[in-house]
Amino acid sequence: MLETIPAAERAAVAPRSRSRLSRAAPFVAAVLASLALWIAPAFLDTFAVNVLTRSMIYAVLAVTVDLLWGFAGILTFGQAAFFGVGAYAAAMILGAYGATPVGIAAALATAVAAPALLGLVVGWLSFYHRSTPLYASVISLVVPIVVTQLIYSGGEWTGSSSGLVGFDVLPFEIEGYFRLAALVLVAVTLAAWILVQSDAGRALVALKDNEARCAYLGLNPRRLQILLTTALAAVAGLAGFLFANASGVVAPENAGFLFGTELVIWVALGGRGTLLGPVIGTIAIDYLAANLSGDLPFLWQLLLGTAFVAIIILLPGGLADPVGRLWRALPVGRTGQAAPALAAREAGSATSTAEAPILKVQGLAKSYGSLTVLEGIDLEIRAGELVSLVGPNGAGKTTLMRCLSDGTEPFRGAIAIGGTPTTGLTPNRIVGLGVGRKFQVASVFESLSVADCLRLARASHDGLSPLSQAPTLGLPQAALDVLRMTGLDRLLTRPTRLLSHGQKQALELAMVVALEPRLILLDEPTAGLTKAERTTIGSVLKALTAGGRIAAVLVEHDLDFVREISSRIVVLHQGRLVLDGTVDEVVGSELVRTIYSGGAHA
Amino acid sequence: MLLLLDILTTAAILFIVSIGLLAIFGVLKIINFAHGAWLTVGAYCAVVTAKLGLNPWLALPLAFVVGAVLGGLAEHFIIRPLYRRPLDAILATWGLGIVVGQLITLAFGRDVQLTPNLFAGTVAFGGVEYSAYRLVALGIALVIGTLFALTIERTRLGLSARAVIMNETLARSLGIDTGRVRLVVFMVGAGLAALAGVLLTPLTSVDPNMGVSWLIGAFMLVMVADASFLALAAACLVFGAAQVLISTFVSPILGSIAVAVLAALVLRVSPKGFSRA
């Protein structure tokens, strides 16, 4: 269902975006920081230059931990392992081939590729359908332990417990390493900054916020998480390469679990999710540690540990949190996000195969242990139909919706969307078949803005730029209608956590409609809404299905609403499909009255 | 025979070390990374007992009490505010572990401490000479396991704890003081960990960081057991056996990571671990 937006239309709405000044600001800051760091060695003594070189390399790692933990919500101790693998790869290859051009190139390539490969494996292990964040953290604990033990058992190759020394390194003075580390740090931080400000960066936050919603927007959370783990493992490997060269020593501790926890501590103290906080925090803490731990080794650790516990409990945003609040209180800090321009895009010329049913359910049954929730459900739904699923509480309506939208639910029988069986398919793949699902409790991204939520809903069609924020937001007409009718089009920059219940419901509906599904599943779309909001949603659904290309299934308790909008009603009772007919047939039926009035005649 | 004894006693030691962590994970649903610190605290209770010239076995009740008191303080000031942020609770308890470790270092120094053996010598068992203490540890594990099971099944606290494990909201609405249950369970868990620390002293060296090396293994076992007491016993047997067998026949280094790696793989295949069986 790909379609194109005319280039002219895209260009026409562009200018009203953020000023050029604020877009250039990160680059200017990066250049200034590079210049300052370039001349810094002239003013520092040898000890400080040495220590700060190491600190800056660690800060590169802190940026990767922050991206994973602060933005994508993956608490990881594993970056140390990737760092260690990179450092050892560099040391081993430089030791074997010397610092010849070929040797250096091979060392650099391996130091990046080997951790990336390991990252791919770790990512595959950590993230799978229904994996938990805790499990990913567990794996990230195991990886450094395994890597360290492998280093210990590596014999002469890895130098076992004493590590490797005396290998050839890059032909730099200590100032040279300082500048190299500084440039890499600035470049990595700038790249991370651009990423998190971009549309793709929003997807990271969305993953942390609401992974299920991501999947039901057709994004593959697994793939994103694995990709991120792999890419950041490569960056950690690069930091390891730098470290091996700058220090001339690699030791098992560089890959260890304790180092992994230290990285997390630095990021937490600096302020997770802020990028600059962890960078400054890491450099400050590592530099202080180098200066203080000589005199007060235990006291320093004690202070650090106490500060860490206090920060986690009292100031989860780290030290960057109060600083950031202060900054936003200043007039210069209050830039705010510019609203993208809304644009309509032509509806996709969907291959409407009017003959085949969009949804075909045969003999569907589902039970939890001995409790049978659904049994012998047969259902066919064709384009243009608006089917209401009614039935008393516990009839199995929501379970049926879940089976329709998630093929990994253990059910018996067969479900096919447009002829494709869904058994075993994860929700994002079923979305790919053209199914959109709206949940009973509005499921949106609480920490993103309305516009970002809608952008993510379009991501499976239009992709997300990892470099910038698109100035326009192209949505199908139906989604625009939902926004206009509910006034959300004037609230595009508002964080969704500030929306009312009804606005959240409308936003989720707009997101689902923006997917341009062939089959739209709605679980009580009007629960808790006002009469006016209900009418709006009713007319949107009618307009959507009237085109004859989309079908909708909604679970609904409000029989008046059902009677008004449905083309067909299906009655579910105690897990069985007891009635399936037109509005008049069902509403007039004796059976429905019996079910709803508990056995007696109404 | 030797191998079998090794497997049984290794499993027993793993069980002793992880049972406190399991209790806390089950009821509070957080991973207590200060567990290693409680182990260390317990071991230093043995050191103190020895320095005072008391019977080494007195270290057991002392460690349990000290662990429980410290655990109570930690629950009140650190765990309670983080109840809704489980991943942060991992970090805060890790930080607490650092603090405890450094305080011990300040008080006792960084050096390895010597403690009197709780039960010296060897006994002939099934044709081999075997460390008497390891057999005693096996017995102690059985006693702890039985007491733990009886507490869970037969006491009011056990009943409340089971209610909280199954459905905390419902338990609270039935008038169970879930906050108190959590506090008591955390205290018991920390006490058991300190007890385990004393029991470890004849087997390992005592130093301020000794707990950390046991932490990961215990943590992985508890993850696999998923808050089920019997599953923990099963996991200790299976992974203990794997550790002994790999150490004996392949390499001690691989043996030392066997528990962590195998547990991670088991969780990947079956997220509920051993508790499903």
A191, pLDDT greater than 90: yes
* pLDDT for the residue A349: 52
Q: What is the pLDDT averaged over residues B3-10?
A: 87
Q: Residue A146 and residue B102: Cβ atoms within 8 Å?
A: no
Q: Note whether residue A236 is domain-resident.
A: yes
How far apart, in whole angstroms, are the C-alpha atoms of residue B256 and residue B253? Answer: 5
Neighbours of A576 (CB within 10 A): 16
Which chain A positions have a beta carbon within 8 Å of B110's beta carbon? Answer: 298
> Is the Cβ of B84 closer than 8 Å to some Cβ of chain A?
no
Q: What average pLDDT does the segment A350-378 reach?
A: 79
Please indicate whether, in this complex, the C-beta atoms of B271 and A142 are within 8 angstroms of each other.
Answer: no
Q: Which residues contact A325 (CB under 8 A, 6 or more apart)?
A: none
Nearest to A137 among B81, B87, B105 (CB): B87
Amino acid (one-letter) located at A181: A
Higher per-residue pLDDT: A113 or A158: A113
Q: Which domain holds residue A198?
A: 22-257
CA distance B8 to chain A (A): 25
Average pLDDT over residues B213-239: 86
Is pLDDT at A12 greater than 70 in this prediction? no
DSSP state of A579: E
The 10s digit of each residue's pLDDT in A287-296 is 988 888 777 7
> For chain A, what is the radius of gyration of the CA atoms?
28
Q: In this predicted structure, what is the pLDDT of residue A35?
A: 93
Whether A354 shows a pLDDT value over 70: the answer reads: no
What phi and psi values does residue A598 have, to the nearest 5 degrees?
A: 75, 35
CA B93 to chain A, closest CA, distance in angstroms equals: 8
B109 close to A (CB below 8 A): no
A6 vs A529: CA distance, rounded Å: 37
Asked if A249 and A397 sit in the same domain, the reply is no
Alpha carbon of A309: minimum distance to chain B alpha carbons (Å): 5
Mean pLDDT along residues A556-565: 84
User: How confident is the model over A17-25, as a mean pLDDT?
Assistant: 66
Which of these, A7, A10, A8, lies nearest to A340 by C-alpha position?
A: A10
SS (H, E, C) A487-550: CHHHCCCCEHHHCCHHHHHHHHHHHHHHCCCCEEEEECCCCCCCHHHHHHHHHHHHHHHHCCCC
- Please tell me if residue A177 touches chain B, with a CB cutoff of 8 Å: no
The percentage of residues in chain A with a pLDDT greater than 90, rounded to a whole number, is 31
Q: Which of A257, A278, A306 is where one domain is finished?
A: A257
Q: Residue A146: inside a domain, yes or no?
A: yes
Rounded to a whole number, what is the distance in Å from the CA of A508 to chain B's nearest CA?
Answer: 26
**Alpha carbons B203 and B199: distance in angstroms, whole number:** 8
Average pLDDT, stretch B71-84? 89
Q: Supply the CATH number for residue A479's domain.
A: 3.40.50.300
| Percent of all residues in chain B with a pLDDT value above 70, rounded to a whole number | 97
pLDDT tens-digit map of B150-159: 888 888 888 8
Most confidently predicted of A180-184, B12-16, B126-130: A180-184
Put simply, the answer to whether A134 touches B86 (Cβ < 8 Å) is yes
Nearest CB among A130, A264, A313 relative to B81 is that of: A313
> pLDDT value at position A470?
83
Question: B155 CB near a chain A CB, below 8 Å?
Answer: no
Residue A557 placed within a domain: yes
Separation CA B53–CA B35 (nearest Å): 28
Question: Which carries the bigger pLDDT value, residue A182 or residue A25?
Answer: A182
Sort out which chain B residues have CB atoms less than 8 A from A137's CB and list them.
87, 90
The answer to whether residues B14 and B203 touch, using CB atoms and an 8 Å cutoff, is: no
pLDDT grade, residue A347 (50/70/90)? Answer: low
Tell which wins on pLDDT, A464 or A64: A64
User: Residue B273's pLDDT is what?
Assistant: 67
Average pLDDT over residues A586-599: 75
Please state, rounded to an integer, the average pLDDT across all residues of chain A.
86
**Of the segments A221-235, A315-329, B239-253, which one has the largest average pLDDT value?**
A221-235
Q: Do A151 and A83 form a contact (C-beta atoms < 8 A)?
A: no
Asked if residue B234 has pLDDT above 80, the reply is yes
Distance of CA B121 to the CA centre of its chain: 25
Last residue of a domain, one of A219, A234, A257: A257
pLDDT, tens only, A295-326: 777 788 888 889 999 998 888 888 888 888 88
pLDDT value, residue A281: 93
> Which whole number is the average pLDDT over A392-420?
87
Contact of B178 with B171, CB cutoff 8 Å: yes
Q: Which amino acid is at A508?
A: E
Residue range A466-492, pLDDT digits in tens: 888 888 888 888 888 888 888 888 888
Q: What is the interface pTM, i.e. ipTM, of the complex?
A: 0.87
β-strand partners of B141: none
Q: Which residues of B touch A81 (CB under 8 A)?
A: none
Mean pLDDT of A338-343: 80
- Write out residues 69-88 of A within 8 Å (CB-CB) of B: 75
Calpha distance A509→A433 (Å, rounded): 18
Q: Could you give the dihedral angle defined by the CA atoms of residues A582, A583, A586 and A589, in that order, rounded to the nearest 10 degrees? A: -120
Q: Which of A149, A153, A305 sits opposite B95 (nearest CB)?
A: A305
Residue A13 has pLDDT above 80, yes or no: no
Residue B270 touches chain A, beta carbons under 8 Å: no
Among B87, B251, B253, beta carbon nearest to A75: B87
Banded model confidence at residue A20, pLDDT cuts 50, 70, 90: low
Q: Does A149 touch chain B (CB under 8 A)?
A: yes
Please count the CA atoms within 13 angstroms of the CA of A599 that sit on its side-chain side: 0
**A8 confidence band (pLDDT: 50, 70, 90):** very low
Whether pLDDT at B257 is above 70: yes
d(CA A47, CA A178): 12
State the pLDDT at residue A1: 37
Mean pLDDT of A541-567: 85
pLDDT tier at A239, thresholds 50, 70, 90: very high
Residues B198/B46, Cβ–Cβ less than 8 Å: yes
Q: In chain B, what percentage of residues exceed pLDDT 90?
A: 19
Q: What is the pLDDT of residues A252-300, one digit of tens each?
A: 999 988 899 999 999 999 999 899 999 999 999 999 888 887 777 778 8
Of A99-113, A392-406, A478-492, B167-181, the range with the highest mean pLDDT is A99-113
What value does the mean pLDDT take over residues A396-411? 87
Report residue A348's pLDDT band, with 50, 70 and 90 as the boundaries.
low
Find chain B residues with C-beta within 8 A of A306's C-beta: 95, 99
State how far the Cα of A299 lies from the Cα of A19, in Å rounded to an integer: 49
Interchain proximity A302–B106, CB inside 8 Å: yes
Question: Does residue A249 form part of some domain?
Answer: yes
Beta carbons of A313 and B254 less than 8 Å apart: no
pLDDT in tens, A61-112: 999 999 999 999 999 999 999 999 999 999 999 998 888 899 999 999 999 9
Please, are residues A434 and A519 in contact by the beta-carbon 8 Å criterion?
A: yes
Q: Given B87, B99, B223, which is nearest A306 (Cβ)?
A: B99
**Cβ(A93)–Cβ(A107) under 8 Å?**
yes
Q: Report in angstroms the alpha-carbon separations of B254 from B69, B154, B218, B238, B263.
A: 37, 41, 17, 16, 14
Mean pLDDT of A545-554: 85
Strand segments (E) across A173-304: 249-250
d(CA A234, CA A86): 8
Pairing of strands A371-381, A359-368: antiparallel
Is a pLDDT exceeding 80 seen at residue A408?
yes
Instruction: Specify if A448 maps to a domain.
Output: yes
Distance CA A358, CA A364 (A): 16
- CB-CB under 8 Å, A138 with B99: no
Residue A362, domain member (yes or no): no
Q: A289 CB contacts (<8 Å, ≥6 apart)?
A: A300, A304
Kindly report the pTM of this predicted structure: 0.88
Structure tokens, A485:
């009718």
- Distance, C-alpha A477 to centroid of its chain: 27
Question: Smallest CA–CA separation between B130 and chain A, in Å?
Answer: 29
In this prediction, residue A94 carries a pLDDT of 92
CATH number of the CATH domain containing B45: 1.10.3470
Chain A residue numbers with beta carbons less than 8 Å from the beta carbon of B251 are: 153
The domain total for chain B is 1
For residue B81, which residues of chain A lie inside 8 Å, CB to CB?
313
**Residue A512 is encoded by which pair of tokens?**
């689902």
- Domain range for residue B217? 2-276
* pLDDT > 70? residue A350: no
